[in-house]
Amino acid sequence: MAIIPREEYLKLSEDKRFITLSEKDAARAEALHKDSLAIDLHTHILRGEFEENVPRLKRAQVNGFIEAVARINEDFSESMDLLGEYLEIVERHPDFMPAFCAQDFVTAKETGKQAVMFQLEPQTFGRKLERIEIAYGLGIRMALLTFNTRTYIGDGCGERTNGGLSYLGLEAVERMNDLGMLIDLSHCGEQVSLDAIELSKDPVMCNHVGARTLYPQCKRLKSDEVLKALADKGGLAGVSAIPNQLSGNEEQGIEDMLNHIDYIVKLIGIDNVAIGLDNVFHDQVAYHKQADQSIFKLAYIGQELNAPYMWGIESPEEWPNITRGLVSRGYSDEDIRKIIGGNALRVIQQVVG
Amino acid sequence: MISREEYLKIPLEERFIKLSPEENERANRLFDELLTVDMHTHIFGSVEFYYNYDLIRQSGIKCCFEAVPSVTEDFEESMALLGRYKSLVAHEPGLVSATRVDEVRAAAEAGKQAVMYQLEPQTIGRKPERLEIAYGFGVRMMLLTFNFKNYLGDGCGETTDGGLSYLGFEVVERMNELGMLIDLSHCGIQTSLDAIKTSKDPVAINHTGAQALYPQCKRLKPDNVLKAVADNGGVVGVSAVPNQLSPNEDQGIEDMLNHIDYLVKLISADHVAIGLDNHFQDQAARHRRQTKARTVAFQRLGIELVANFMYGIESPLEWRNIVRGLVARGYSDDQIGKIVGANALRVMEQVLK
């Protein structure tokens, strides 16, 4: 495929954007996607104008999302305000419901709603670990330990140094385990990730990453060692669909995602792979260009803006294409169900209840 | 060894170092004439608030660089405390808030005591714009980290000894631009070295001592850090906190003088200053309470709470005894003048714009 601009790509019909399948395979993928319980472990669906996105979310046919409450300045009050706004939207909308436990996702599927669980990205606890309990009480069920930079808890993947968890970090992991709050390590440094996996009594996840081996310069991806350690503890690697984080190609898309899924499945087994797209409905590359000047430096995480968008998985709307892709790569129905939601539900059930 | 209660019943003069009548006269003259600067005070209390003007007046210190504490690194909390301190000073005719050396000199000439303000530790979180806010409210020095990891670097009692973070480098640069002193007293070794190397201005380690004299204590600084501070034109303030200068059961002014002697030999009398870090309350008892409440982990600093008080320098009331001790150890008037104030003033004049 030749590179076409993003605006033109968005005008293409679904069959042109989606992976080509035989009629039989296409029917199988459609039925399987509709029938399975699908969960996206890392989303930003509430950012922007939610009402405009509702029809697109319906087309995604995903039963549950874990929405990131993102305040990069790590201000606790601001993050709680944002959580309140998000909860209000989800509570009042007839087609959505908030999720605070695994059963809520099952209920959403049964009642034809879409459930939204909330995570902090990154955590905003500062040095006040009692805020973990406050955040839990207000509805948070997962927290990212560090963003790309250093926090009180440990070093991010784009920091100068690769120190492990601090004393406070050890305590935070313990408290999250006690409360039943999921630990996400997607943006954490290598040593923080290894420390947290080792110390956590519960399985943990890297909910929007990929395999570093496939794209070594990108620090946002995880090494084989981290991925294996995750799996040994029963945790999950969620594969993301952010442009320019899965490969350095000029054309990127669903095939990059599938390459990472294939690699990780071979490395750690089918039971430990999931999906956490982390993409949005607006132009992500434009956003990254802007962010590079303000809130984070792409060079620090080894990210170059080579591709303008992700063909076939540019927004959550194209979620059914993941199932098509997994069919095209020869996965069984059972394996596909695990990757697109079954594994996620299992770990949420185990940690959150 | 006597108890602290019994010690406090001893008249002040009898607690002091014994001198010949000539030395006694010389020490008194120097203390009254010199512009003494205590680079790290807690005259308004430490973590617990405390204020007694009579005690501050009796201490006879001409300039106090008061530490505004917030162990949780909460910006609003530290600014609220600063406001409270400054209001007390504004309503006390014998005290004056200062931000520049000429103001300190003018206060001394008018027979007043000058109070300057530092944050211990800094509370800017991930918002470097708060540096300007703090500067605007009168803050002229900042401790980059307390004993633990924060957004800027690692503390001396942390699991890791990483250097400054990217944000840490940015903050050092901004402090240089604003004209705010950098204090490294509680920072880890690598964070200290990075900050000294990066800072265009001289920096201070305003309440510490020489680790060579008490190797297990992480709150003290190794020779390479001390030399780097001196090479950059900065100052090292010697503190008088019990159980940080030696592991002896009896501790006091002689421990302080031992550290001063060592430092003068290592980096010369041009780079040594005083930053007592003590207050008018029972410090050893407070340290035990903090250990019990787990607010400060002394074992992570290699500190054992053995001694109950500092003989001859238990509170700022005994400041005069430092000058007596320096006389007893054979320092010249010029050297004494530098150590008890002139070095601090030189660096303040150079850095504060």
Q: What's chain B's average pLDDT?
A: 96
Confidence class for position B48, pLDDT limits 50, 70, 90: confident
Nearest CB to B126 within list A74, A164, A170 = A74
In which domain, by residue range, is A314 found? Answer: 6-351
The CA distance from B229 to B349, in Å, is: 17
pLDDT at B58 over 70: yes
Counting other chains too, the contacts that A99-103 makes at CB distance below 8 Å and 24 or more residues apart are: A99/A64, A99/A141, A100/A139, A100/A141, A100/A352, A101/A141, A101/A348, A101/A352, A101/A353, A102/A345, A102/A348, A102/A349, A102/A352, A102/A353
pLDDT at A1 > cutoff 60: no
B39 confidence band (pLDDT: 50, 70, 90): very high
pLDDT more than 90, % of chain A: 96
Domains in chain B: boundaries: 4-8+34-351
Whether the per-residue pLDDT at A2 is higher than 60: the answer is no
Is-contact B179 B154, C-beta < 8 A?
A: no
Min mean pLDDT across A43-52, A252-261, B236-245, B335-344 is at A43-52
Note the pLDDT tens digit of each residue in A75-101.
999 999 999 999 999 999 999 999 999
A75 contact residues in B (CB cutoff 8 A): 125, 127
Residue B47 pLDDT > 80: no
**Average pLDDT value for residue range B43-61:** 89
Q: What is the mean pLDDT of residues B11-31?
A: 97
Q: Indicate whether A55 belongs to any domain.
A: yes
Band (pLDDT 50/70/90 cuts) for residue A200 is: very high
Q: What does the DSSP assignment read for B234-253?
A: -EEEE---TTSS---SSEEH
- Which of the pair, A2 or B84, is modelled with greater confidence? B84
Residue partners of B214: CB distance under 8 A and separation at least 6: B220, B244, B245, B246, B247
Q: In chain B, whose CA is at the least distance from the CA of A195?
A: B159
Tens of pLDDT, residues A227-253 = 999 999 999 999 999 999 999 999 999
When scoring B144, B159, B167, B190 by the number of chain A Cβ atoms within 10 A, the one with the most, hence best to mutate, is B159
**CA distance, residue B298 to nearest chain A CA (Å):** 13
Q: What is the pLDDT of residue A259?
A: 98
Counted domains in chain A: 1
* Residue A257 in tokens: 């995602």
Instruction: State the Cα–Cα distance between residues B275 and A127, nearest whole angstrom.
Output: 27
Verify whether the Cβ–Cβ distance B126 to A164 is below 8 Å: no
Q: Which of residues 135-154 of B touch A (CB under 8 A)?
A: 148-154
Q: Under an 8 A CB cutoff, do B72 and A163 touch?
A: no
Select the residue of A155, A165, A169 nearest B162 (Cβ to Cβ). Answer: A155
Contact yes or no for B243/B207 (Cβ under 8 A): no
Across-strand partners of B187?
B155
Q: Cβ contact (<8 Å) for A152 and B150?
A: yes
Under the banding of pLDDT at 50, 70 and 90, the label for residue A294 is confident
> Domain B4-8+34-351 belongs to what architecture?
Alpha-Beta Barrel (3.20)
With a cut of 80, say whether residue B244 has pLDDT above it. yes
**Residue A14's CATH number:** 3.20.20.140
pLDDT tens per residue across span B114-130: 999 999 999 999 999 99
pLDDT in tens, A183-198: 999 999 999 999 999 9
- CB of B159 less than 8 A from some CB of A: yes
Give residue A265's pLDDT band: very low, low, confident or very high (50, 70, 90): very high
Average pLDDT of chain A is 96
**Count of CB pairs separated by less than 8 Å, A with B:** 82
| Closest residue on chain A to B190 (Cα) | A161
Does the CB of B127 have a partner CB in chain A at under 8 Å?
A: yes
Q: Is the peptide bond before A122 cis (omega within 30 degrees of 0)?
A: yes
pTM: 0.88
Question: What's the rounded Cα separation, in Å, for the pair B131 and B38?
Answer: 23
Is the residue at A1 inside a domain? no
Q: Which of B120, B5, B147 is nearest to B65 (CA)?
A: B120
